[in-house]
Amino acid sequence: MARGAQLLTTSRKAAILAVALTVAACARNSPPLPPDLGHLPPEQRLLQGDAESPEAKLGCSELKEERERIRMAASQNEATIAGNRSHNQTVSYVGGALLPPLLLAARNDDDAKKNLDELQTKKDRVDRLLKARGC
């Protein structure tokens, strides 16, 4: 009886660890699409707030540099996640099959995922400004 209860507790712990891993190493969804402004002329395809944003103060060449900076920062964050993906897969294969506590070693990449979402928002804004100004 006691052995049965112990087994139940162990399997519960394993289930909790598995859930922790799934949450930690889960896929990041693509960011939402911007509003559809296609019906407007290009120079008017700006959103409320674009004109007051820090990027609005930049000239064409600075905006292009900013776009390049965003692209490089996004690549770095993607590389971080991709690097940890191999680690997480190894941890989940071994942890899932042999040693459940190992699942706790999974890396969640929360910061990189958050950065990527923010960078996409910024990239969308910079693109709108570039195209609205005909840069």
Stretch that binds another protein, among 8-16, 29-37, 47-55, 58-66 (CB under 8 A): 29-37
Choose among 82, 78, 104: nearest CA to 91.
Answer: 104
C-alpha distances (whole Å) from 15 to each of 1, 36, 132 are 21, 43, 52
Cα(71)–Cα(84) distance, integer angstroms? 20
Residue 27 touches another protein, criterion: CB under 8 A: yes
- Binding residue for another protein, selected from 1, 3, 4, 30, defined by CB under 8 A: 30
Q: Which residue number, 9 or 35, has a Cβ lying nearer to another protein?
A: 35
Cα(20)–Cα(101) distance, integer angstroms? 11
With beta carbons less than 8 A apart as the criterion, state whether 133 and 60 touch.
yes
CB of 4 to another protein, least distance (A): 30
- Positions in the binding site for another protein (CB under 8 A): 21-22, 25-31, 33-34, 36-39, 42, 45, 78, 81-82, 85, 88-89, 92-93, 113, 116, 120, 124, 127-128, 131
